[in-house]
Amino acid sequence: MNKPGFETLFEPVKIGDVEISNRIAMAPMNLLYSTPDGYVSEQNIAWYARRAKGGFGLIITEAIVMTALAAPFIVYRNLYLHNDTFTAGLNRMVEAVHNFGAKIFAQLSIGLGRQGRALDGTPPYAPSPIPYEVNADMLPNTFKLMLGNPDLQRYMKGQAPREMTVEEILSEEERYAEACVRAVTAGFDGVEIHAPHGYLLHQFLSPRSNKRTDEYGGSLVNRMRFLVELTERTLEAVRGAVPVGVRMSAAEHLSQGLTLDEVKVVAKKLEDMGVAYFNISDGSYEALKYFFPEDIEHVKNHLLKEAAELKEVLDIPIITPSIHDPVIAEKAISEGATDIISLGRQSIADPDWPNKVKNGEVNSIRRCNRCLQCLMRIMAGLYPRCAINPEVGFEQYNAELFPNKRKGEVMPTPFVKWALAQMMQSSK
Ligand SMILES: Cc1cc2nc3c(=O)[nH]c(=O)nc-3n(C[C@H](O)[C@H](O)[C@H](O)COP(=O)(O)O)c2cc1C
């Protein structure tokens, strides 16, 4: 059935005990579809179901904000999971994705730190009281053309943050772990700790934004302490019911920024602790041209060198974004440079990318031209539209995307499964 030339892309792969049917993941993306108060909307559900229908083996959700402290500091709209009222909607999203045979992992954020902004002007919190500031050289070229635009200007400089206290760090770790249990209850097949792109955990990792003199700043061991403790808490909380992964930017590309060599040390430590996969990305708000690579050469092989270097130190599977070309994706996986590729903007432009590749219809793929209109609209708080995919934003009106009956047996939640497995173990 698979068209010759793309066999490896359609080989199953295991993350922990979870089998993914192919090597194609949808990259985490917040498209602002949640309700203003952080609940799952019909559009959220249809959006992910549409990509599962298009053949993605793994869907990774947008970053879901996990704590009440972090919740006010979001960019326009965000999914939340800081109390039990959010769980049932997320469970509907999981069911809709499972209905098309894909697996779905939840990306879980402990907050935006200095990249956050509260509507009422309350200062955000960060490792140190240093605001972020974007140098225009670090913007994608499309954005450089509209420097005078007020939406972009607002984004160019963050508000001065206050320093987070040690008590807050410890209590946020606890709140986060509690929320991870909700993600498991919602039925996600895996969870991903969100530590890239200059958000709070990345700020702690980076000597650029972390100038603390306590045990959370200074040496790499200290700067990674928050992420390490959080990972420990998360692993304890989910009790092996689902695999736990981590996403990090491969490098910061800025003076005093976190380097790939340091990222390798952190990734190895996390693997030794029991993390089941590593999802790489790049850059931050201050280095946006790396976060959203723009030119065609970048979208062909952006991060493959970094992925290959990480693979030299890690045994766990690696997910690499921005390889929009199926020929390069196949080559990268078959040569062992990465285990899974993920598509972000390309999955917006064409949700059927995987099925088209599988069915030998590569020429009919609607190729993302990286015009960044999706992102520009988001920057203004609007729902994204795509210049080449008119369906974007209207998926919720497609009834086919919503399960209209239960499929198979009523499945026990992962924790029930976990408890049953423990009972079997102890009765042996
Ligand atoms: C609109 C939009 C929202 C995004 N939101 C997230 C997010 O919530 N979490 C995350 O880790 N990355 C996020 N990303 C980054 C993508 O996961 C991906 O790394 C980036 O778009 C580069 O991949 P691409 O070239 O395939 O688009 C977002 C990207 C876009 C375009």
CATH of the domain at 128: 3.20.20.70
Nearest CA to ligand 1 atom 25: 322
- Is 2 a domain residue? no
- Is 159 a domain residue? yes
pLDDT digits (tens, 9 = 90+) for 215-273: 999 999 999 999 999 999 999 999 899 999 999 999 999 999 999 999 999 999 999 99
Q: For the whole model, what pTM was predicted?
A: 0.96
Span from the CA of 25 to the centroid of ligand 1 (angstroms): 12
Question: How large a percentage of the chain has pLDDT more than 90?
Answer: 86
Span from the CA of 422 to the centroid of ligand 1 (angstroms): 38
- Is 89 a domain residue? yes
- Ligand 1 pocket test: pick from 61, 197, 248, 292 the residue with the most ligand atoms within 8 Å of its Cβ: 292
Which ligand 1 atom is the nearest neighbour of the CA of 247?
11
- Is 104 a domain residue? yes
Residue 61 is part of which domain span?
8-427
How is 287-316 classified by DSSP, letter by letter? GHHHHS--SHHHHHHTTHHHHHHHHHH--S
- Ligand 1 pocket test: pick from 24, 26, 30, 33 the residue with the most ligand atoms within 8 Å of its Cβ: 30
pLDDT digits (tens, 9 = 90+) for 397-423: 999 999 988 877 776 666 677 776 677
For residue 78, give every residue at least 6 positions away whose Cβ sits within 8 Å of its Cβ, in sequence order, or none.
Answer: 30, 34, 38, 62, 63, 64, 65, 71
Q: Under a CB-based contact definition with an 8 Å cutoff, are residues 117 and 209 in contact? A: no
- Is 351 a domain residue? yes
pLDDT for 100 beyond 60:
yes
Cβ < 6 A, ligand 1 pocket? 27-31, 62-63, 107, 194, 196, 247, 281, 292-293, 299, 321-322, 343-346, 374-375, 378
Nearest CA to ligand 1 atom 31: 345
Domain count across the chain: 1
- Is 1 a domain residue? no
- Is 352 a domain residue? yes
- Is 267 a domain residue? yes
